[in-house]
A and B are shown apart, each in its own frame.
Chain A
Amino acid sequence: DARVTQTPRHKVTEMGQEVTMRCQPILGHNTVFWYRQTMMQGLELLAYFRNRAPLDDSGMPKDRFSAEMPDATLATLKIQPSEPRDSAVYFCASGLRRRDSLATNEKLFFGSGTQLSVL
């Protein structure tokens, strides 16, 4: 079965360190989303790419977070420097937007997430 792959599954780091999370979307998908899940805020949208171009990153703290898609098979989310309040589970999801479809992004496929703990 095709699936979204996220690495690492778990990351424990110290405050101030750089953190890089990686996502391999499903082959052929052209949209990628990054979400952050916490108990208090639920599932927050951080960034959204279509055809590797960033379309919306308004939910992402710009001073320390950055998201890129160096190629169609890899999306990255970086935090530098990390802070304890960044502790959360980070999910990547991919989908397929078809020009001829009314239901664009009708179904997202999620990875298993990266559980980040910043001490």
Chain B
Amino acid sequence: AQSVAQPEDQVNVAEGNPLTVKCTYSVSGNPYLFWYVQYPNRGLQFLLKYITGDNLVKGSYGFEAEFNKSQTSFHLKKPSALVSDSALYFCAVRASHDKIIFGKGTRLHILP
């Protein structure tokens, strides 16, 4: 079955420290992977994608994600967290018929 797992419901990071939000996936064929962010009372916003090429992809707001095929992971990272990064983050994968399925989300708290 095609799926996305985000093993952490919540991640707390001190401002200025590096952050990682974890994601693993299960999909047949080459994976197309995405990260989205949701701020309170808003819809999701696209952050970045992996389609092919370099395993480290860069996206909006200084975020990047590392694709690891052997571990079927696509973790979101940022070298130095900001309080304004506090939000709900979703990992997603393209599944059959091009539909996009999402993980349950990880709430990121950046502590001042």
Chain A residues in the interface with B (C-beta under 8 A): 4, 31, 33, 35, 41-43, 45, 48, 50, 55-56, 91, 93, 97, 102-113
Cβ of B49 and Cβ of A106 under 8 Å apart? yes
| Subset of 13 A-B contacts with CB under 8 Å | A41-B104, A43-B103, A45-B99, A56-B99, A91-B43, A93-B44, A102-B51, A105-B99, A106-B32, A106-B49, A109-B46, A110-B36, A111-B43
Closest 3 A/B residue pairs (Cβ): A110-B43, A42-B104, A43-B102
Cβ of B100 and Cβ of A108 under 8 Å apart? yes
Assuming A43-B90, A45-B100, A48-B97, is B105 touching A107 (CB within 8 A)?
A: no
Cβ of A112 and Cβ of B100 under 8 Å apart? no
Q: Which chain B positions have C-beta within 8 A of A113?
A: 43
CA distance A105 to B99 in the complex (A): 8
- In the complex, the chain A residue whose C-beta lies closest to that of B44 is A110
Cβ of A106 and Cβ of B51 under 8 Å apart? yes
Q: Which chain A positions have C-beta within 8 A of B41?
A: 112
The distance from the CB of A106 to the nearest CB of chain B, in whole angstroms, is 6
- In the complex, the chain A residue whose C-beta lies closest to that of B104 is A42
